């Protein structure tokens, strides 16, 4: 399916373009540092008309990074019941950066506070069913292909290796949780799966389609087929509101007011419940790891169309 260009979105991209000069492209994963900071794109998929509109550098592909945490949470909840999943990972926002270890040490048991932070996402990824890393990765990728309607989706080997080779902090989180019996996985295998999951590549159009399924309560707006059980879609959207933008989730709820999930690649998945899925991309990030221009695009669009749920 094609995404049409839209005058409204083109004007919005022009208006927001100067914000791409603010912030910094993530480079703690070295391969991400090669992104072009002036890239800016947006797609909006309306679930009622099944039409997609877009503007900006929409052919640019970027890695999901933390946006993948919503996908793996949904899949883990398909693979296991809620009790099993939330016995190992909590439901509360942290107020801390996404890769912080501090609450793990302060709380007993040292279970991660939610599935959107790195510690929680690592535990969730360890729950994905499959005999081998490859099999588990294939299940995650097929799920992304189904949700986005794009069978060509794959992952960037370059970004995955780059994160695998430099991810000492995530390894530290894993070993800490392993010591405290919260995590039971082989850490190197889990790191391989997690870094590959984070390196799945999409465009903002793919994100808008994924968002549209969630905005439509788990059902594909084009075919009517159920892709995610309704209760699971609801849990994912709720976590996106409370924890999706990390320690900026409160401000985002006030300024934009929709479920959203950011990634350090500069992508943001947005959901306007019962209305639309939104994908935005711009790689320059603020100090909390969220796309500066992406946030601005969403803020202006939300105010204009009264998207806020609150």
Provide the 3-class DSSP secondary structure of residue 182.
Answer: coil
Residue 270 to residue 277: CA distance in whole angstroms: 6
C-alpha dist (Å) from residue 29 to 17, 219, 274: 25, 34, 36
Q: Do residues 210 and 263 lie in contact, with contact meaning Cβ atoms separated by under 8 Å?
A: no
Residue 206 to residue 279: CA distance in whole angstroms: 7
Closest CA to 65 of 37, 95, 31, 39: 31
Q: Annotated catalytic, 246?
A: yes
Q: Pick one of 20, 100, 216, 262: the residue that binds ligand DON (CB under 6 A).
A: 262
Q: Annotated catalytic, 281?
A: no
| Shortest Cβ 56–ligand DON spacing (Å) | 20
Piece in contact with ligand DON (CB under 6 A), picked from 182-190, 252-260, 261-269, 272-280 = 261-269
| Shortest Cβ 192–ligand DON spacing (Å) | 13
- Interaction residues for ligand DON, span 193-212 (CB under 6 A): 198
Does position 162 interact with ligand DON (CB under 6 A)? The reply is: no
Site for ligand DON (CB under 6 A): how many residues? 12
| Shortest Cβ 183–ligand DON spacing (Å) | 15
| Shortest Cβ 227–ligand DON spacing (Å) | 23
Q: Pick one of 289, 296, 298, 307: the residue that binds ligand DON (CB under 6 A).
A: 289
Structure tokens at 74: 């949904």
Q: Annotated catalytic, 69?
A: yes
Residue 239 to residue 253: CA distance in whole angstroms: 12
Q: In angstroms, what is the C-alpha Rg of the chain?
A: 18
Output the CA torsion sign for 157, 119, 123, 266. Answer: negative
Widest Cα–Cα separation across the chain: 55
Query: Any binding-site annotation on 170?
Result: yes
| Shortest Cβ 48–ligand DON spacing (Å) | 30
Q: Do residues 216 and 66 lie in contact, with contact meaning Cβ atoms separated by under 8 Å?
A: no
Q: Annotated catalytic, 280?
A: no
Query: Any binding-site annotation on 246?
Result: yes
Q: Annotated catalytic, 194?
A: yes
By beta-carbon proximity to ligand DON, the closer residue of 90 and 289 is 289
Q: Which of 69, 103, 261, 296 is catalytic?
A: 69
Residue 10 to residue 249: CA distance in whole angstroms: 27
H/E element holding 12? helix 7-16
Q: Pick one of 263, 270, 273, 283: the residue that binds ligand DON (CB under 6 A).
A: 263
CA 188 to chain centroid, in Å, comes to: 23
Does position 99 interact with ligand DON (CB under 6 A)? The reply is: yes
- Residues annotated in a binding site for substrate: 66, 118, 163, 170, 194, 246, 264
Positions touching ligand DON (CB under 6 A) are 65-66, 98-99, 118, 163, 170, 198, 262-264, 289
Active site (catalytic) residues: 66, 69, 194, 246, 264
């Amino acid at each position: 399916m094609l995404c049409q260009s839209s005058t409204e979105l083109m004007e919005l991209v022009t208006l927001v373009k100067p914000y791409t000069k603010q912030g910094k492209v993530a480079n703690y994963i070295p391969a991400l540092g090669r992104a072009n900071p002036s890239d800016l794109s947006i797609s909006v998929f309306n679930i009622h008309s099944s039409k997609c509109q877009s503007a900006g550098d929409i052919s640019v592909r970027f890695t999901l990074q933390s946006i993948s945490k919503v996908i793996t949470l949904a899949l883990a909840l398909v693979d296991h019941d809620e009790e099993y999943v939330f016995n190992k990972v909590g439901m509360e926002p942290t107020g801390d950066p996404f890769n912080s270890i501090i609450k793990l040490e302060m709380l007993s048991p040292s279970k991660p506070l939610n599935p959107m932070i790195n510690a929680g996402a690592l535990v969730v990824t360890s729950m994905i069913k499959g005999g081998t890393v490859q099999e588990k990765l294939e299940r995650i990728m097929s799920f992304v292909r189904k949700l986005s309607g794009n069978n060509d989706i794959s992952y960037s080997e370059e970004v995955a290796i780059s994160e695998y080779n430099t991810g000492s902090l995530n390894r530290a989180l894993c070993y800490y949780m392993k010591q405290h019996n919260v995590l039971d996985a082989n850490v190197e295998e889990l790191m391989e799966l997690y870094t590959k999951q984070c390196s799945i590549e999409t465009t903002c159009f793919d994100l808008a389609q994924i968002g549209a399924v969630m905005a439509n309560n788990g059902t594909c707006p084009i075919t009517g087929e159920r892709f995610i059980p309704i209760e699971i879609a609801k849990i994912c959207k709720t976590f996106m509101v409370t924890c999706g933008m990390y320690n900026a989730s409160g401000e985002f709820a006030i300024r934009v007011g929709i479920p959203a999930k950011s990634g350090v690649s500069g992508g943001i998945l947005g959901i306007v419940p019962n209305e639309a899925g939104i994908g935005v991309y711009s790689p320059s990030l603020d100090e909390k790891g969220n796309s500066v221009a992406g946030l601005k695009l969403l803020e202006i669009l939300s105010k204009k169309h009264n998207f806020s749920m609150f």
